[in-house]
Structure 1
Amino acid sequence: MTNEMVAQKVPIRLAIMGEGRMGSLIRSTAEAARNEDGSPAFEVVAQIGFDLSVADSAPAADVLIDFSNVATLPAVCAYVRRCGAALVSGTTGYSDDQMAELRELAAAAAVLHSGNYSLGIAALRHATALAARELAGFDVEIVETHHNQKVDAPSGTAKLLLDAVVKTEAEEGRGEYYPVYGREGMLGKRDPREVGVHALRGGTVAGVHTVSFFGTDEEVSLTHRATSRQIFVNGALAAARKMAGREPGFYGFDEVMFG
């Protein structure tokens, strides 16, 4: 999208991967979004569901938004390469090899991948890094809760929070911290450098993430609660506005939204 198009308030052309709850909510929100002058902010030119072959002939978009699942990655990459669209990806559960594919894609297109598109989660991640820096020697545990339909665990957001802890501890020269995913049996005493990561599943919970720091005779817990998926949709569409027309590269959420 050129600067001239932005000045003329030409709608950003969107393609959406997935027709589930997130895909449907992204579409309805995008179609209702307006610029300051009342003109449409987005035009949804394609939405790709279970039949991934549709991506081979779907109209070109400025941005592809993908909150589907890991199985769609080949179709996502093929569409982005064919159309030159920027990618806003919120799909979680990728393997290391699949993340490498996304990074390779960034040589040809602007790619943003994040496990969470909430501004509140961004603040929680910053607060987690600050607490890890200030609370030297405290034990760290992460607990995430989601609805009973979520297929991957731990959540992408929990991994972001874990990364914030591990990176901060390394920067502070405190050694290599590592995750322990749940506990069972006679494990012996807790290693001071382990970070417990626990996943709860049930009901219709949109998402709750808590990072707890346990010291001697005191505890600090940081919690973010999402009451609906709308916050993630709003963040993804805000990111789509900023990603349209960007140069190829692999971008982070903070870089795009706050840079």
Structure 2
Amino acid sequence: MNIAVFGYGMMGKFVCEDVASAGLQIAGVIEKRDGAQAMSPVTEDILYKSLNDIKEKVDVIIDFSNPANLDEILEYAIENQIGAVICSTGFTAEQLTKIKQASEKTAILFSRNMSLGVNVISEVLKQITPILADAFDIEIIEKHHNQKVDSPSGTAKLFYDSINESLNGEKEAVYGREGIVGKRTKKEVGIHAIRGGSIVGEHSIIFAGQDEIIELKHEALSKRIFSQGSVKAAKFLAGKAPGFYTMKEVLDIK
């Protein structure tokens, strides 16, 4: 099975290592930035500027780059009828629509977080939120390193979507609060972003009730959990029929 890795930053390097560890082949690595240097298991001869430059047959693309590369990835996947695992974050609403539309023509797996723990929490939220929502206020806090360029995190959005989906869309996201904003309404879900140091990723969902607090928390201690999840997703996606897939299917979460 041949994997094309799009993006050769820290996450891309982890993905390449995990692809090799899983006994899969790296067909090519795409890095748009100049000056990229290949590191084992990647060699200079498979480091490219474009997917169309790859010489080997590609079975699945794993993308850990940025939203600017989405069109190239989707076009290549559709043209070659191969799967694409989209792991980048920060997409616009228009780009998310493009991803959904592309899934009608080829297999697309999109997830805002590739880890087992986060996806389990996402499903747990769908179950407990309808029980707690009337009596508890809900807030989401996410913390990341000072190099992260998008806010709030894709994972915070994933958790908010799980909450809102379970309540038939009755909640409204409020991104931070400043000034005299008035009393909190029952429709609000506050989403707050912290940036600093080398925090890999930490997310807390707080259910604050009268005289009691319930908190669900996930802390990533290494980015490796995301690359390992993406390789598992690629193995799942290979040969799949056109469709929109998520980590829920990969992890067989019922």
TM-score (norm. length: structure 1) = 0.88
- The aligned length equals 237
Q: Does 1:18 align with 2:15?
A: no
Q: What fraction of aligned residue pairs are identical, expressed as a percent?
A: 39
Partner of 1:211: 205
User: Considering only aligned residues, what root-mean-square deviation do their CA atoms show, in Å?
Assistant: 1.4
Partner of 2:39: none
Partner of 1:7: none
Partner of 2:62: 65
Match of 1:186 among 157, 180, 185: 180
TM-score (norm. length: structure 2) = 0.89
User: What pairs up with 1:99-138 in 2 under 5 angstroms?
Assistant: 99-137=96-134, 138=136
Partner of 1:49: 31
Partner of 2:163: 165
2: CA distance, partners of 1:119 / 1:224: 11
Answer yes or no: is the 8 Å Cα contact 1:128–1:211 preserved in 2.
no
Q: Does 1:79 align with 2:68?
A: no
Partner of 1:144: 142
Q: Does 1:89 align with 2:86?
A: yes
1: CA distance, partners of 2:242 / 2:133: 39
List per-residue Cα deviations over 1:82-131 (Å, max 9, x = no partner). Answer: 32220111111111111111112112210000000110001111222233
Runs ≥4 residues deviating over 3 A? none
2: CA distance, partners of 1:53 / 1:19: 11
Unaligned stretches of 5+ residues in structure 2: 34-47
2: CA distance, partners of 1:149 / 1:83: 34
2: CA distance, partners of 1:256 / 1:32: 19
Partner of 1:36: none
Q: Secondary structure at the match of 1:154?
A: coil
Partner of 1:28: 17
Match of 1:228 among 222, 226, 230: 222
List per-residue Cα deviations over 1:227-247 (Å, max 9, x = no partner). Answer: 000111111111111100000
List per-residue Cα deviations over 1:166-209 (Å, max 9, x = no partner). Answer: 11122xxxx71110000001011001110000011111111101
